[in-house]
Chains A and B, each alone.
Chain A
Amino acid sequence: MTVFARPGSAFDPGAAAARATEAILNDTLHRAHRGVVVDSPPGAGKSTLVVRAALELASAGRPLMVIAQTNAQVDDLVLRLAEKEPGLPVGRLHSSDPDPYDKALDDLPNVRKSAKAKDLAGLDVVISTAAKWAHVKDVEPWRHAIVDEAYQMRSDALLAVAGLFERALFVGDPGQLDPFAIVGAEQWAGLSYDPSASAVTTLLAHNPELPQHRLPVSWRLPASAAPLVSDAFYPYTPFRSGTGHGDRRLSFGVPSDGSGPDRVIDEAAETGWGLLELPARHTPRTDPEAVRAVAAVVRRLLDRGGAAVSERAADPVPLTADRIAVGTAHRDQAAAVRSALADLGVTDVTVDTANRLQGREFDVTVVLHPLSGRPDATAFHLETGRLCVLASRHRHACIVVCRAGVTELLDDHPSTEPVQLGVTVRFPDGWEANHAVLAHLSEHRVTWRP
């Protein structure tokens, strides 16, 4: 990995990250606190930290349970653990549904899979989802737990599993989407144990003395993106990129044909950001023009023979469909983009909503702006975490497709959420973060009338 030092500063990202990790592991292994909280910005090596902490706890002879939020996250962690330490006995606790886990786990000799916690007793590490752990009863509590994606876990989910462990390491990204409830939970707003709040909020409200750490370096975000994401979404806990401006490059074999999509691709390749601005208009959610524009950008990204240079490999790596993702706010928008892509013969590009893109990483992302074409700005569309997820999935460049007029829309809809007593106000609010991102994007604007 390239270790990059900014001119005139002594900041060494590798060393800074290593120091943070050491401090976290020290608190986890050798201090008396019942919990340790780690805030991790996008791509800061959260999974690496979880795997390393799990291995160290296991080698210290402490039985460990790991709580993740989705089955995909659990399977991913099991695979990473097995890759690092093939001999480690790992238990994968799963549901009794058909196909409860990734088939790749069947090839790992030291991974035992069961739907019953008793079958996995005595293994060094047992991993499952919070939902499955909640059903485990009448077992000896584990001495240690790691809670992954703790900011996406709801307080009531932690309540259901907290009796299973004595102490825990909570790891997560505070800037991503907050957990949500499908019914109103205002009744409990302001209570320290509001069941709809995030697990970390409740944990810290009751245990303010717990040590809190933060990973200071994003290895995913390029130098062009880290300052913006850090300023807009993590103003009080800034982070840096692990690479410098010269370390990553995106180039295309086929020159631009002068169309909007090609011009915005060139802008993004050059600067890391691109805004393809369509004429202002109020549209349905699945705005056909915007959806087609997204699909056209993806098609051109593939057609123009992109190559990515990064610290990971000596030679340029071709920009293939699996390295590109499209992010939207709503599922019907994702479905519309998939359809439009299929019409252009593109099938292997990931298209999903912000919720489902959390934790994933691509070389280039194309984002349909959550406020594009809307007549109003609701709390859902203004949610800070939604924009943060969409703007922080890329290693090289992010292209945003949006109708003009979002700045005016924001000015017409200042946030009017009621202030609840006892609830910590989150900074920045979505309104401010949206303005910050738009202001930056406007410097990379390509206007286009399809």
Chain B
Amino acid sequence: MSLIGTLARLEAVRSGRAQPAATVRHRHLSERPLVLVPLTTAGEAGAPLGALVGTDRDTPRLLVVPQPRDRDLRFAFLAALADIVLPYVDGYAEAVEAAERTETDPETGKRVKVEVELCADAPQLIVPSRAGIDFVRLLGRSMRFRRTAEQDPEAPYPAPPRVPLLGRWLTHFGERARVPGSSLLLAVTEVLARHWTTGQSSLEDQHLGALLAWIDPPEGISGAGAALRAELARDADGQLLCPPAGPATDPAFDNKLLAPAIERYDRARARLAAAEDGVEADDRFGELSAAEGQIRALVESRMRPTWDAVWRGLDLLRALPEGAHVAERWTRDRWSFTGHRDRVAAGEPPQPRRDDAVTAANKLATREREQSRLDAQEALDDPLVMAGRRLAGEAFAGEVTDVVMAYSEGKRPSPRPLVTVRTEDRPHLGERAKVYRSLGGKPQAAEFVGYEGWIGEGPGGHGGNGAGRDPGGAGADLVVLRIVDKMGRGREPEAGSVPEKGDRVCFTLFEHEQRGGAKLPEPEETPWTHGGPPGEADAPPQPDPVTEEDVL
């Protein structure tokens, strides 16, 4: 954890309330997000128990699997989920704007601009916690290779029509969520923890109830007390007052309430199957419905508090103004959404089970670039985040105390003004380190020359080794920088391109914009070091062979 994070945590402990970790909102929030609160069955990976889902906080759709081990009921649940999620996703596929993209012309091999469609907005899926994101990914994986009766009449257990498509979309959301700064699929706990620092461990921050208790405690209780209550308090029956945000459920709930209810349901089903005539069947169908109703009520009672908490979290986040670079990052999410929309429309096969070598390397490179971009943009958008970077020695702010005009050597001397900045920060400036400041949204580079008073005083006098700083370290340093670009083409720098005496400036040691990496070979040109080209890429991916465990 960063130093400022540790300090904020200590302050939160002392004050009993979460401390702001950001002054603006660093993630995009849709006007109309689709919130999904899923629950899973203990003991069986990927067996949904139920879900609350919808775009309206007052009327969530309740989906429940009364017997989670029944594959037919599970398919019915997934089909119902597809009927909610897919229309929502499709709702964003139609409205497009024209955009340009650079592509390699297949004939000439030149880079050319092509006109393409970009969806004007994109869907946004919100789940309560990180585990919820994993669950979305798991559901996606379990569905996208399923075959419908239409695709494969021979399939022994055909999936309902739209289920494989839902799997592909959930897989896309889950994969996109791994890209730093993306907002197609967000976990409320993660976004809240990004914007507030609580007095508990980051592990405890994954408990939505406890996290909200720290950020917005009820009247008269400290955040710490409310968080403890959210985590531990139980009613007379031993049930948690604040059920976990899932998808896992509380064992006490499973054992004392859910298991007996499912048992009643199973019995009622067996009795219905054994009914001998219509009248008896009618009666027993009533029993079965009642048993199912009980399970639905039980499951809803565990999910509803989480559903409300998710919306409360969204309210808290919406109260923060959006960061300046958030829209730019959301545009990348829109590109991602548009790209997958096009792949689905073009009839491409579902995402493969495993990435090939080139795809994996490309994804890793993209994510590393996005991480650096996110770190830089958050700092530029938010003085509190920048304060953390300054405290870590990765940036410094101060007042310009002197500007001396100087020029580069050579035939056409260019301006290379020397700017002295008085700062109380302690940046880790190495010899000739590059630093950057934001000038009208573009980065202007400068080079660290030394600390004033020590420049040119023999070996070791330069700042790279820390000499020349105020010994004792309490006061301010005078940092001398040489501005090297963004001053125009002329001999005299353009107006406003060089800081003036008295200006407040903030320089960072990290770059503001990320260079694109080198282009990797195409997958079919995978070199021998990486196993050569992958096998038949066009072959439809086969589902895992069914094992005994699958039909327990």
Q: Which residues of A contact B (CB under 8 A)?
A: 34-35, 131, 134-135, 137, 155-156, 158-160, 162-163, 181-185, 187-188, 191-196, 199, 202-203, 205-207, 284, 331-332, 335, 338-339, 341-343, 347-348, 351
- B 359-377 binary contact with A (CB < 8 Å = 1; else 0): 0110111011001100000
A185: which B residues are within 8 A, CB to CB?
Answer: 364
Residue of B nearest to A185 (CB): B364
Known contacts A183-B364, A347-B459: A162-B180 contact under CB 8 Å: no
Give the one of A134, A343, A347 with max B CB within 10 A: A347
Within 8 A of A (CB), among B504-552: 517-521, 525-532
B528 with A343: CB separation less than 8 A: no
B518 with A339: CB separation less than 8 A: no
A159 with B361: CB separation less than 8 A: yes
Distance of A142 from chain B, by nearest CB (Å): 13
Known contacts A131-B518, A206-B530, A338-B466: A193-B368 contact under CB 8 Å: no
A343: which B residues are within 8 A, CB to CB?
Answer: 471
A332: which B residues are within 8 A, CB to CB?
Answer: 392-393, 428
A331: which B residues are within 8 A, CB to CB?
Answer: 393, 428
Known contacts A183-B371, A184-B178, A185-B364: A160-B393 contact under CB 8 Å: no
Give the one of A181, A206, A331, A341 with max B CB within 10 A: A206
Contact of B530 among A131, A134, A202 (CB under 8 A): A202
A193 with B465: CB separation less than 8 A: no
Contact of A195 among B357, B460, B525, B528 (CB under 8 A): B357
> Once the chains are docked, how many angstroms separate the CA of A335 from the CA of B433?
14
Within 8 A of A (CB), among B433-480: 459-461, 465-469, 471, 473
Residue of A nearest to B460 (CB): A347
A sample of 13 more A-B contacts (CB under 8 A), given A159-B357, A181-B364, A347-B459, is A134-B518, A160-B518, A187-B355, A191-B354, A193-B530, A206-B529, A331-B428, A332-B392, A335-B393, A341-B466, A343-B471, A347-B465, A351-B465
B368 with A191: CB separation less than 8 A: no
Residue of B nearest to A170 (CB): B529
Task: List 10 A-B pairs, minimum CB-CB distance, nearest first.
Answer: A347-B460, A134-B518, A162-B527, A156-B361, A193-B357, A338-B466, A195-B361, A339-B466, A206-B531, A342-B466
B518 with A347: CB separation less than 8 A: no
> Once the chains are docked, how many angstroms separate the CA of A191 from the CA of B468?
51
A192: which B residues are within 8 A, CB to CB?
Answer: 531
A338: which B residues are within 8 A, CB to CB?
Answer: 465-466
B465 with A135: CB separation less than 8 A: no
Residue of B nearest to A203 (CB): B529
A183 with B360: CB separation less than 8 A: no
Known contacts A163-B525, A343-B471, A347-B459: A155-B465 contact under CB 8 Å: no
Interface size class of B (residues with CB under 8 A): 35 or more
A-B contact pairs, 10 of them (CB 8 A): A34-B528, A156-B364, A159-B357, A184-B178, A193-B530, A199-B529, A206-B530, A207-B529, A335-B426, A338-B465
B529 with A181: CB separation less than 8 A: no
Q: Which residues of B contact A (CB under 8 A)?
A: 3, 178, 180, 354-358, 360-361, 363-365, 367-368, 371-372, 392-393, 426, 428, 459-461, 465-469, 471, 473, 517-521, 525-532
Give the one of B426, B466, B519 with max A CB within 10 A: B466
B428: which A residues are within 8 A, CB to CB?
Answer: 331-332, 335
Distance of B336 from chain A, by nearest CB (Å): 16
Residue of A nearest to B354 (CB): A191
B393: which A residues are within 8 A, CB to CB?
Answer: 331-332, 335
B465 with A342: CB separation less than 8 A: yes
A181 with B368: CB separation less than 8 A: yes
B357: which A residues are within 8 A, CB to CB?
Answer: 159, 193, 195
> Once the chains are docked, how many angstroms separate the CA of A339 from the CA of B461?
13
Contact of B178 among A156, A187, A199 (CB under 8 A): A187
Distance of A188 from chain B, by nearest CB (Å): 5
A163: which B residues are within 8 A, CB to CB?
Answer: 521, 525, 527
B461: which A residues are within 8 A, CB to CB?
Answer: 347
B467 with A159: CB separation less than 8 A: no
> Once the chains are docked, how many angstroms separate the CA of A163 from the CA of B504?
50
B368: which A residues are within 8 A, CB to CB?
Answer: 181-183
Distance of A63 from chain B, by nearest CB (Å): 18
Distance of A47 from chain B, by nearest CB (Å): 23
Known contacts A135-B518, A341-B465, A342-B469: A35-B180 contact under CB 8 Å: no
B473: which A residues are within 8 A, CB to CB?
Answer: 339
Give the one of B363, B364, B527, B529 with max A CB within 10 A: B529
A193 with B531: CB separation less than 8 A: yes
A188 with B360: CB separation less than 8 A: yes
